[in-house]
Structure 1
Amino acid sequence: MDSYLIQVNGHGDHAPILDVHLKTNGNSMSLGKVKGRKPRWAVRASEMSKKTFNPVRAIVDSMKVEPNPKKAMISLSLGDPTVFGNLPTNDEVTQAVKEVLDSGRYNGYAPSVGYQSCREAVAAYYNCPEAPLEAQDVILTSGCSQAIELALAVLANPGQNILVPRPGFSLYKTLALSMGIEVKLYNLLPEKAWEIDLKHLESLVDEKTACLIVNNPSNPCGSVFSKSHLQKILAVASRQCVPILADEIYGDMIRDGLLRLSQRILGPCTIVQGALERILHRTPPEFYHNTLSILKSNADLCYAALSAIPGLQPVRPAGAMYLMVEIEMEHFPEFENDVEFTERLISEQSVFCLPATCFEYPNFFRVVITVPEEMILEACSRIQEFCEMHYQGAEGAQDLECDK
Structure 2
Amino acid sequence: MSRNWVKIKISDYARLSVNPLRKITQEQKVEPNPLKRSITLQLGDPTIFGNFPPPISLINALNNAVHRDKFPYNLSYGKYESRKAVAEYSKHQGLVTADDVILASGCSHAMEMCVLTLTASGENVLIPKPCYNYKTWLDGVKIETRAYNLNPEQSWNIDLKDMESLIDEKTRCIIVNNPGNPCGNVFSKDHIIDLLALAEKHKLPIVADEIYEHFVFPGIEYHSISSLSKTVPILTCSGLSKRFLVPGIRMGWIIIHDRNDSLSEVKQGLRNVSARILGPNSTVQYALPEILQNTQQQFFVNKMMKIACNAELAYGLLNQIPGLKPIKPRGSMYMMIKIELEKFPEFKSCMEFTQQLIREQSVLVFPSYPCFNYPGFMRIVLTVTNDMIEEACARIKEFCETHVVN
2:50 corresponds to 1:85: yes
Is the 1:220–1:366 Cα contact (8 Å) retained in structure 2? yes
Structure 2 match to 1:219 = 181
TM-score, L = length of structure 1: 0.84
Is the 1:355–1:364 Cα contact (8 Å) retained in structure 2? yes
Q: Deviations over 1:34-93 (max 9, x none)?
A: xxxx9x999642232122122223445554211111111100001001111110011111
2:34 corresponds to 1:107: no
Tell me, in whole angstroms, the C-alpha distance in 2 between the residues paired with 1:231 and 1:370. 31
2:401 corresponds to 1:391: no
Tell me, in whole angstroms, the C-alpha distance in 1 between the residues paired with 2:179 and 2:70. 33
- The equivalences for 1:11-30 within 5 A come to none
Structure 1 match to 2:242 = none
Query: 1:241 is matched with which residue: 203, 215, 231?
Result: 203
2:394 corresponds to 1:381: yes
Percent of counterpart pairs with the same letter? 46
Tell me, in whole angstroms, the C-alpha distance in 2 between the residues paired with 1:127 and 1:60. 37
Structure 1 match to 2:62 = 97
Structure 2 match to 1:123 = 87
Structure 2 match to 1:21 = none
Q: How far did 1:163 drift?
A: 0.5
Alpha carbon RMSD of aligned pairs, Å? Answer: 1.8
Q: Deviations over 1:172-208 (max 9, x none)?
A: 1110111210011111110011001111100000000
Structure 1 match to 2:116 = 153
Q: How far did 1:127 drift?
A: 2.5
Structure 2 match to 1:267 = 279
Query: 1:143 is matched with which residue: 81, 106, 116?
Result: 106
Higher RCO (Cα < 8 Å, 6 or more apart): 2
Structure 1 match to 2:11 = 46
Instruction: Give the length in aligned residue pairs.
Output: 355
Q: Deviations over 1:264-322 (max 9, x none)?
A: 11211111111111101111111101001011100111111100111000000011010
Is the 1:168–1:220 Cα contact (8 Å) retained in structure 2? yes
Tell me, in whole angstroms, the C-alpha distance in 2 between the residues paired with 1:392 and 1:127. 53
In structure 2, what residue type is equivalent to 1:280?
A: L
Tell me, in whole angstroms, the C-alpha distance in 1 between the residues paired with 2:90 and 2:290. 15
Structure 2 match to 1:27 = none
2:135 corresponds to 1:173: yes
Query: 1:348 is matched with which residue: 354, 357, 360?
Result: 360
- The equivalences for 1:358-377 within 5 A come to 358-377=371-390
Structure 1 match to 2:191 = 229
Higher-Rg member (1/2): 1
Structure 2 match to 1:133 = 96
Q: Which runs of 5+ in 2 are unaligned?
A: 210-234, 237-255
Tell me, in whole angstroms, the C-alpha distance in 1 between the residues paired with 2:22 and 2:104. 23
TM-score, L = length of structure 2: 0.84
Q: How far did 1:100 drift?
A: 0.9
Structure 2 match to 1:71 = 36
Tell me, in whole angstroms, the C-alpha distance in 2 between the residues paired with 1:384 and 1:266. 50
SS in 1 for 2:375: coil
Is the 1:63–1:343 Cα contact (8 Å) retained in structure 2? no
Tell me, in whole angstroms, the C-alpha distance in 2 between the residues paired with 1:50 and 1:285. 44
Q: How far did 1:123 drift?
A: 1.2
Q: Which runs of 5+ in 1 are unaligned?
A: 1-12, 15-37, 394-404
In structure 1, what residue type is equivalent to 2:349?
A: N
Query: 1:305 is matched with which residue: 298, 314, 317?
Result: 317
SS in 1 for 2:314: helix
Change (3 A) 1:63 1:134: same
Is the 1:100–1:106 Cα contact (8 Å) retained in structure 2? no
Tell me, in whole angstroms, the C-alpha distance in 1 between the residues paired with 2:58 and 2:70. 16
